[in-house]
Structure 1
Amino acid sequence: MSDKAASSDPTSVIVKDTEIYKYICPSLLPSCPTSSICPYKFHEVTPYKWEVIDTTTPLSQDDGKLLEKQYSNPDLNVGSLSKFSLDFTTMTITSSEDDSFPLGTKIMRKSTPTRNICPDEVNASGWTWYWQRDDIAVNWSEMEVKGGGNETCPFQYLEQNYQNCKSNGNPDDDFERKFTIFGAKRQEYRVSLDFNKMELSMAGDPEKYQVKRRPDTFNRFNWVTFGDLDPDGNFRFPITARELESYFISGAKNFSINKFSVNLDTREFIDARKMPAKMVRIRREAFKSGQLLELENSYPSTWYAMPKSRIFVTFNVPKFTQEFDMVEKKVYPLEIMSLRRIQNPASYKSYLRIKERMEWEASCVEGVTLEEKWLFHGTKDVNIKLICETNFDPTLSGSANGATHGRGTYFTNVVATARGYSNLTSSRVFLCRVLVGRKILGERGKFPPFALCGPVTMVDNLDNPTVFVNPRIHSFLPEYIVEFPPGR
């Protein structure tokens, strides 16, 4: 790596050859093809590594992961492990339950280069800046900076200035820089930020505001409309949160897509699909690690992190992903206009509990097996939000067709049939996981006979069923909302 010449442009991060040894190789193990001759000194399986200085006792990978999660949360000043507590400001152990980690021991955090240094590396480290605002309820708020000059990425403007101050070896009294930041309701503040003291001051305000810089390893974001759904249950947002985030990070202020005009300065977009055009407010939710629901082990790997306070969240599924391709094959030859994943932790756990129970019931009856099928359910848009929140109610389902094949929640393996029960103008259907047990012919308005043992599913035809009716609550899980072009 060649030296980058010093520049007056605050966005050009200066990196010297000798500094490359500070970083973990962003290719990570085992992907780095030239680890033996790679210019980076450190090679790890994660983009971070926590190490104890001057001791032969290493930290386990699980301990490092826990420290990284805690360090990603700006509300925490101290990290806690079963062995010791760590002051994140001084990076020293302040209390210890293990003689191998005496008080005052220094801890070091290594990481991959920042995104400013290696913008094209997927595993480059991201950093988020926070400040203590007095106009909102939470303690630490993400600092959003209005860039100056000709920089192309104002979202990373703070980090670029910080890196240059550190790289240039400035004296302690030359770490102050001036910025314009956004407060509540997008009002602008002209501030001075001291990178050495990590303090922020405003003109005419004697108070000093504390500033923190923390990694975004375990933090997530989402872009949502206010209310997420309109009164009719229609999704208003035209692109995925990740697509919008890429516009946001790139510094774009205004852009148009699919007859939507988006203004990131005012946090609104105009829906011009129908006249008169509608203006819809949007917001960016940046969730700190302490506010996130842990999804690593017990939930599907495709799920994104979500706030604990939300009953359910829906996310757009981008095209050309395995997840989108899976759904696309199930609805072929129909064209998918949009696909949204439903994440409802309570419904998901209830489904798993019922599945375990029904598997046990099936094992107790000879010749009965339990299948998990992907089936469709059509309904009007006005019902979509309630279904996402509470799952299907078997006592209400079947009302659209008079419970022809029995009482319970109706599903079909024919997507055209499900579309017949949706709105003509929007044409949205649910794609669900459904537990199918012993198949019996359903009778109009009736539940299956009580004497039957094991899980039971009522169908319209025993040889080639197209309609499946489940009377048991939570024996199904709405996973996706599939939207097709209007019409049949």
Structure 2
Amino acid sequence: MAAYESLSTRLRKVLASSGGSMELEALKRALRLDAERMGTLIEVEEGTSLKISKQDDKEVVLFSCALRACSERGKTCAGDCEKIHLCRYFILGSCNRSPCKFNHDIHTAHNLKVLKKNQLEALTVNELLQTLLQNDPSLLPDVCSHYNRGDGPYGSCTYKSSCNKLHICQHYLQGSCKFGSKCKRSHDLQEAQTLAQLTKWGLKGTFLPNLLNIYRNAGALTDNIAASPRKAQPPSKTEKPSSQKHVVTENTEEICLFFLLNSCNFKDRCVRDHFGLPYRWQVCDKDTWKDIGSMEVIEQAYCDPNSSAPISGLDYNTMTYKKCNIRRLSTPSSVSKPPHFILTTEWLWYWKDEYNIWMEYGGQCDLHSLSNITSSDLENVYLSDKAADIPFKAGKHEYVLNFKDMVQRNTQYGTERMVCRRPKFVSSEDVQKKKSRKSESSKEDCNSLPPHWDKGHIPDAGYKLIPLTKASAEYKKIEATFHRTLQTVTIQSIQRIQNVSLWQVYQWQKDQMKKQNGGKEVEEKQLFHGTNDKLVDAICQQNFDWRICGANGTAYGKGSYFARDSSYSHNYSKRTDSLTQIMFVARVLVGDYIRGNSSYLRPPAKQRSSSSFYDSCVDSESYCWPPKHWRTVKRTRGQKKCKHVAACWCHLSQGLTCF
């Protein structure tokens, strides 16, 4: 046992002293191990102290650890967390404060305890700081995702030279840029604007020459975690979500419904695509997606599987056009949204009969027996499990539809038929008609709204802010909840957010949860959320989006974090001026939850099921991410004055249930 512990310590030391990574063969030589012993060591240590990554057709061993820097040091941390207490700028190599009020000593009693628990006490200061940088995502500056898409020297970034994020090729940082020196994105970490952003972030000195390697190691560690999450130890009860900013590097293929209705308040910050139709066809020109002409004609032909492509060289099956990749962006599936949502995509399912004619499931036909499943049935199952096998009947025959291979098979004769999924066609004229009908019907059916809402101020679209009187029960309840942990703060005003669309979404989601829960009522809780004042209008208009509003937490997974105590969310409320700050309160519908882990990109599956997942993750019932449904309250507050805005019902459209 002692011999193995010594080998484990040597492994960490060798990896840390080699810049955080090493080729497998070189590591084997450095540790003087044969292939069998090296294989055993990897089997034991993989997932804790190392990860294996493929780089340039070689296996590279990455130094992985759970060590994180405490972001609450000097604020709310009581000193009993399991994170290291060090000055952030000391870690980054740029602290020039003398004296500095934050710790620069890795050998304090607390830090030694943390290092020993992580088996890192043998590392030098520089080795430890290097290890922190590649393992703690909150320490590295974000890469601008907008710069990495679109044409021009700044891509689609509207902030251009004033952007606070790095304008650098994301694929270059990941070691996967296929364009090399011909890439139109920057590959130079020493370029003036990039260097200025790194300096502003605090990265200086010895780490800059090795920064590319640090980013690549960090990216590979994140990819490995996302691909094969391992069972993790639950976080300590005192651990708080870190203050990391999320980076959305993927190019979204979902069109923003709010933009279609001329009401997306996230604007340039929106992670969804902004386009005037519920579909968008694009071709990849080098590394840039560009719109294809005759888009409506292409869409109409695509929607009918019995039609051929209207343009020579266009292939719907391979999604290529003259050897170039093409893609179709789309609004969310209609079955994933409440019925009142317009301009969602209605997907239809077809099978090819013996006459090579595509027939819709559940559709009337004289030639074939009617199936007992419909397109809507299949779409619901497909969205929850894209590898499922679906049994169904048509007349006296029984079949199994396999989503993975997109075929249906007759269980008696083994006959297989091809299956496809296509959208229902919507023309640009249809879009305008639906938008007009939506506007005309916006004030109908007020009976379904909360009884305490002001019926004289129901908005045609968007939301209205309704001031509450201090004598009202609604005001007093919110005031009491807020003052439970922030007694010294005076509330300046409270306003209710009345948003009909989000209220309807909330009711629909509540009904869905109740049905899934066997008819049992869903419990509700009130939680707080601090945010940037620039996002308040967008949140009131169209809800929280964890990729934008969830910028302050990763300790229990990627998502929007909510706290039981207003005093905690106060730390994440960004000041609008010298006195005021912003806060929301959320009334949450509680689902099935589990302790979170920083590696989670979504809550894990229940037991070994691949199609049933937990709704949310928690620490000790104080913080959660990301909520599926909530009631929001907006509050602006400061030293002794607080402007508080109160409560509409809404839900996170892509979300998971928050506890």
TM (norm. structure 1) is 0.36
Bigger share in strand: 1
Bigger share in helix: 2
TM (norm. structure 2) is 0.27
